Amino acid sequence: MALPDKLHKRSEMDYVLYDEADNRITKNSYEHWYNGKKYKLIWEHKYDPREVPNVYHNPDDPVEYIRISDEELVNAIAEDFWNEVSRPLQADGPFFFYQTGNDWICPGCKTDNTGKFCTECGLKRP
């Protein structure tokens, strides 16, 4: 089932998105700032860097998110998102990862991991 062109938040305290029929959107999603604007990136299937996400924006309305259809903009936002979350932690640097052995914390969902990819969201190890 494809995601709708518009999504809605229920309240300022509830950041889970809902479609126009009030169905809860339970897909993998992240908020990302790009060129001074906040976007909502939602993956239809498993969170995967090879899949282009659906990108939503709410320019004036804190409740309604509208899907962006400009493929070039969507790809630019997705690429910027992956570049942001894939770079190593600047404060700790590589020593942090060697110091803790194979353990690492996913910058996307904060899950403890030991492999090359996050077991919760699929993000590549920084």
Find out whether 18 and 9 touch, Cβ atoms under 8 Å: yes
Q: Is residue 1 part of a domain?
A: no
Q: Is 120 helix (H, G, I), strand (E, B) or coil?
A: coil
52, 96: one domain = no
Q: Are residues 67 and 38 in the same domain?
A: yes
> What integer pLDDT is reported at residue 77 of this predicted model?
93
Residue 111 lies in a domain: yes
Q: Are residues 67 and 12 in the same domain?
A: yes
- Decide if 38 contacts 29 (C-beta within 8 A): no
Per the structure, the complete domain to which residue 99 belongs is given by 92-126
Residue 102 within a domain: yes
What's the domain count of the chain? 2
66-113 pLDDT, tens digit each = 999 999 999 999 988 888 877 655 444 443 333 345 677 777 777 778
